Amino acid sequence: MGTGHYFWALFYFASLCSASLANNAKINFREKEKKVLDQILGAGKYDARIRPSGINGTDGPAIVRINLFVRSIMTISDIKMEYSVQLTFREQWTDERLKFDDIQGRLKYLTLTEANRVWMPDLFFSNEKEGHFHNIIMPNVYIRIFPNGSVLYSIRISLTLACPMNLKLYPLDRQICSLRMASYGWTTNDLVFLWKEGDPVQVVKNLHLPRFTLEKFLTDYCNSKTNTGEYSCLKVDLLFKREFSYYLIQIYIPCCMLVIVSWVSFWLDQGAVPARVSLGVTTLLTMATQTSGINASLPPVSYTKAIDVWTGVCLTFVFGALLEFALVNYASRSDMHKENLKKKRRDLEQASLDAASDLLDTDSNATFAMKPLVRHPGDPMAMEKLRQCEVHMQPPKRPNCCKTWLSKFPTRQCSRSKRIDVISRITFPLVFALFNLVYWSTYLFREEEDE
């Protein structure tokens, strides 16, 4: 009998222990989180208006550590001088009023979605133009409270930020766009922002940018002093390099082709006036349209850009080809006028020679007599012969180097208009090649200096 009672007592104790273990296994830690949140954030226990104390509970400034994850960079606008970025922004600080019992490590952290329940740093983006939060499907924000009182705030935001650009080397330039974060109301005596140790800024892999490449980024501090005090500030400098291949295909090669096409008029006949005028005017208008299209995509600045030098010189070459035809046409008409004058002079000389021959024919039966080589006054025939002798006895002129060089060109009757075309065929390409050499060496060298 005693043994039976002992057995039943042992069985009852074992059942109680198993029930207790089962109850412990079925503990709802979400309910524990609720109790902990009510305990640390209950009415009269926590005031979100009061900032946390400094390090180790001192009266120093609250330390807030920042880190960023750049998800994407959508657009970089030259004409508006701005860029758009989407990022995950994180802040972390310690608030000793939020310490709680982690139930032997089973509560790693508490999660909140209402930022107004705890104290928040008054950070703002000083170069922001526009910005918005993401609320699809739920607000992309959370606050984690750790047992030691550490608070992590994370939010996904999209920003449009100002980016002042220097376009002197456009499109061979590099641009530095900054992201600035500062405290609005708390001075450095109450709040200090620091970059998180290790890797404060991360960028998504395979970041693709239209017409730009993100070369590197740098973190720095930018504290500012105003009449109301000194405010903590952080900044990230993003270094963008412009992709030149797009501009080479869209601007530089088409401009070169237009300049070369304008040289075709040098090889056309001088009499093809409609063809040469149409070619010159068409290339000039096309080049002007190209230049205006380039300027429409850029802001009006007071300095000269690299692309302005290129388009200006190309436009000058095209305009010069059109002026060259005007000069050729004028020289051609001048040559024709001189040719007509020479023809008239030759006709008059021929007429005078014919008259003299007729006079000699009439006196052919007269007796021939030797006359002394004495010039009698008033003798027209003697005067004419003397003039011819003087012409033949004049000393030869010194050869002109330029005329000698020009005479080597295949010209027809030493036509000045033809010579202008021949010289232009050589001069224009040489000068344009020299300009390309100076242009690319100058701006590429300046780009390396800036780098």
Round to whole Å and give the CA distance between 49 and 62. Answer: 14
Q: Is the pLDDT of residue 342 over 80?
A: no
Tell me, rounded to whole angstroms, the distance of Cα 42 from its chain centroid: 56
Query: Given pLDDT bands bounded at 50, 70 and 90, which one contains residue 82?
Result: very high
Choose among 180, 171, 174, 178: nearest CA to 66.
180
**pLDDT for the residue 218:** 94
Residue 134 pLDDT greater than 50, yes or no: yes
Structure tokens at 244: 């030149």
Please name the residue that has the structure tokens 């800024």: 201
What radius of gyration do the chain's Cα atoms show?
47
pLDDT tops 80 at residue 328: yes
- pLDDT above 90 coverage of the chain, percent: 46
pTM reported for the whole predicted model: 0.72
Per-residue pLDDT at 403? 60
Query: Is 67 in a helix, a strand, or coil?
Result: strand
- Number of neighbours of residue 73 by Cβ within 10 angstroms: 22
Does the pLDDT value for residue 286 go beyond 80? Answer: yes
Mean pLDDT of 56-63: 83
Indicate whether 371 pLDDT > 60: no
Confidence of residue 27 (pLDDT cuts 50, 70, 90): low
From 254, 246, 274, 270, select the one nearest 318 (Cα to Cα): 254
For the chain, what are the domain ranges? 29-242, 244-335+415-450
pLDDT reported for residue 373: 47
User: What whole-number distance in Å separates Cα of residue 87 and Cα of residue 73?
Assistant: 9
In this predicted structure, the answer to whether residue 377 has a pLDDT above a threshold of 60 is: no
Q: What is the CATH number of domain 29-242?
A: 2.70.170.10
Q: Tell me which amino acid residue 451 is.
A: E
- The pLDDT of residue 400 is 66
Looking at every residue in the chain, the average pLDDT score rounds to 81
**If pLDDT is split at 50, 70 and 90, which confidence band does 15 have?**
low
Question: What letter does residue 116 receive in the DSSP assignment?
Answer: G
DSSP annotation of 96: G
**400: which strand partners?**
none
What DSSP state is assigned to residue 412? S
DSSP string of 100-114? ---TTTT---EEES-
Q: Is 179 helix (H, G, I), strand (E, B) or coil?
A: strand
Kind of pairing, strands 123-125 and 191-195? unpaired
Q: Which of 16-30, 328-342, 394-408 has the highest mean pLDDT?
A: 328-342
Predicted confidence band of residue 13 (pLDDT cuts 50, 70, 90):
low
The answer, yes or no, to whether residue 408 has pLDDT greater than 70, is: no
Q: Has residue 382 got a pLDDT over 80? A: no
pLDDT of residue 25: 47
For residue 102, what are the contacts with CB-CB under 8 A and spacing of at least 6?
108, 147
Torsion of CA 71, 74, 78, 82, to 10 degrees: -60
At 367, the pLDDT band (50, 70, 90 cuts) reads very low
Asked if pLDDT for residue 287 goes beyond 50, the answer is yes
244-335+415-450, CATH topology level: Methane Monooxygenase Hydroxylase; Chain G, domain 1 (1.20.58)
* Tens-digit pLDDT profile for residues 255-264: 999 999 999 9
| 143 in Cβ contact with 118 (< 8 Å) | yes
pLDDT in tens, 183-220: 999 999 999 999 999 889 999 988 888 889 999 999 99
Q: Mean per-residue pLDDT for 168-193?
A: 93
Dihedral, 109, 111, 115, 116 alpha carbons, nearest 10:
-90
DSSP-derived secondary structure letter, 185: S
Contact 184, 233 (CB under 8 A): no
Question: Confidence band (pLDDT; 50, 70, 90) for 364?
Answer: low
Q: Binning pLDDT at 50, 70 and 90, where does residue 369 land?
A: very low
392-407 pLDDT, tens digit per residue, is 445 555 656 656 655 5
* Lowest mean pLDDT, pick from 147-151, 336-340, 380-384: 380-384
SS3 call for 415: coil
Out of 338-342, 373-377, 430-434, which region has the weakest mean confidence (pLDDT)?
373-377
- Taking a C-beta distance cutoff of 8 angstroms, is the pair 39, 45 a contact? yes
